[in-house]
Amino acid sequence: MNLVILTGAGISAESGVPTFRGPDGLWEGHRVEDVATPEAFERDPLLVHTFYNLRRAKLLDGTIHPNPAHLALAKLARSKEHQLLLVTQNIDDLHERAGSPEVLHMHGELLKSRCTDCGAVTPCREDIGRSSVCPACGHIDCLRPHVVWFGEMPIGLDEIGAAISRADLFVAIGTSGLVYPAAGFVSWARQAGVRTLEINLEESAGSGTFHETRRGPAGEIVPQWVAEL
């Protein structure tokens, strides 16, 4: 079976990574929409660098691990019977740490930086700031997180659209369905006659568009669903 799976912050919640819209949905007291924009970075680079440096340090502090949902998707990716495109809105590396061989990070990756002068994208496991030097071109005060901010073009939309159009099943896991174009993928699937399934803790903005919804924590529901496939 051809599968396209889209994951959101909900799949990492049980690993201890706060979601955006839960009660703890603010980051250091900021709304994501107010700090995750090019304008915010232009206006206050230190605030935005700190926002991402804190999240990166947390991700790497040894307390955050893949949960059974990440592990089940990695097992699914290795099965020979199914073709899987795993798309995530998350910027953490928990799918990779769980063993998923290929992950399409449509909103970028916290553990990579990008140079605004030469465009180089390089691994980043330390704090970055205005005094950071680009490992590729050697310029200073030119690094930003390799993350897609609001108003910026997500990564891999063409590949995602093509995969959805030829899929047998589109599954959204742990996403509130509020941020576009990711929230529109279920409509792309329905227009292409593709079956759609939502696995989420609670009702999402897109729940009514899915053929089937399964309610509960991803760590419980996803392994059950993968075992049924």
**Residues involved in catalysis:** 107
CA distance 87 to 117: 28
Q: How many whole angstroms separate alpha carbon 59 and alpha carbon 118?
A: 27
The dihedral sign for the CA sequence 175, 192, 96, 78: positive
Which helix or strand (DSSP H or E) is residue 10 part of? helix 10-13
Site for ligand BV8 in 18-47 (CB under 6 A): 19-22, 32-33, 36
179 binds ligand BV8 (CB under 6 A): yes
Choose among 147, 155, 218, 216: nearest CA to 182.
Answer: 155
Is 153 a binding residue for ligand BV8 by CB under 6 A? The answer is: yes
Among 1, 137, 162, 178, the residue binding ligand BV8 under the rule CB under 6 A is 178
- CA–CA distance, 105 with 109 (Å, rounded to integer): 7
Among 74, 142, 182, 197, binds ligand BV8 (CB under 6 A): 182
Q: Is 217 in the site for ligand BV8 (CB under 6 A)?
A: yes
Q: For 23-26, which contacts have Cβ atoms below 8 Å and span 24 or more sequence positions? A: none
- Which residue, 120 or 201, has its beta carbon nearer to ligand BV8? 201
Name which position in 68, 174, 206, 223 contacts ligand BV8 (CB under 6 A): 174
Task: Compute φ and ψ for 94, nearest 5 degrees.
Answer: -70, -35
- Residues of span 50-109 touching ligand BV8 by CB under 6 A: 89, 91, 107
C-beta nearest to ligand BV8: residue: 10
**Dihedral pair phi/psi, residue 164, rounded to 5°:** -65, -40
Q: In terms of CB distance, is 2 or 207 closer to ligand BV8?
A: 207
Tell me which of 3, 4, 6, 10 binds ligand BV8, using CB under 6 A. 10
Reduced to 3 states, what is the DSSP secondary structure of residue 30?
strand
- CB closer to ligand BV8 out of 7 and 132: 7
Tell the smallest beta-carbon distance from residue 79 to ligand BV8 (Å). 22
Which contiguous run of DSSP H or E holds residue 68?
helix 68-78
Residues that bind ligand BV8 (CB under 6 A): 8-10, 13-14, 19-22, 32-33, 36, 89, 91, 107, 147-154, 174-176, 178-182, 200-202, 204, 217-218
